[in-house]
Amino acid sequence: MILTLGRHISENERKIARTYINMTALAEEYPEFIFIQTRSAQLEIVKRKYPEIFEAVKEAYRKGNWEPNGGMWVEADCNITGSESIVRQFLVGKKAFKEMLGCDGDTLWLPDVFGYAAALPQILSLCGIKYFVTSKINWNDTTRFPYNTFIWRGSTEQA
């Protein structure tokens, strides 16, 4: 059976809507519940296609149950693309969160990518991103990375 791209996109959009409505319902039921949202692209879809869910998200954000804190538009690959593309992810992603919710993220979430550009710390620093979160580093069963938490510094100073 061959599926069209349109059907895949539609199902993805419905899945986002279901996730967001479930998270806002949990926020209503459990006042201590906090949902972290890392992709502004998904919020834009909800705003455009599901305005009532978007209003629920804004209310959860206002109450402190919704944390939009991802610097990128989507969680992008950092090996294949160039630095310009990575910077564009931050420019578009941060602008979208600012316009939709009035917030400015300080964290890059990349839970499932297959490598990191050597320039990433510098790009993060220049884009106002203070923190980087991933789980992929510890997936290697041959060469274990020795740390769970570490400081990966980037400099914005000219050499």
| Per-residue model confidence (pLDDT) at position 154 | 64
What value does the mean pLDDT of the chain take? 87
For 20-50, what is each residue's pLDDT tens digit?
999 999 999 999 999 999 999 999 999 999 9
Catalytic entry in 77, 104, 106, 112? 112
| Per-residue model confidence (pLDDT) at position 158 | 56
Q: Is the pLDDT of residue 67 over 90?
A: yes
For the chain, give the DSSP string: -PPPHHHHHHHHHHHHHHHHHHHHHHHHH-TT--EEE--HHHHHHHHHH-HHHHHHHHHHHHHT-EEE--SSSS---SSSS-HHHHHHHHHHHHHHHHHHHS----EEE-TT-S---TTHHHHHHHTT--EEE-SGGGG-SSS--S-SS-------S--
What pTM, to 2 d.p., does this model score?
0.82
Active site residue 104: no
Task: Please report, for the chain, the start and end positions of each structural domain, with discontinuous segments joined by +.
Answer: 1-68, 72-159
Please indicate whether residue 77 or residue 26 has the higher confidence score (pLDDT). Answer: 26
Give the mean pLDDT of 125-133: 90
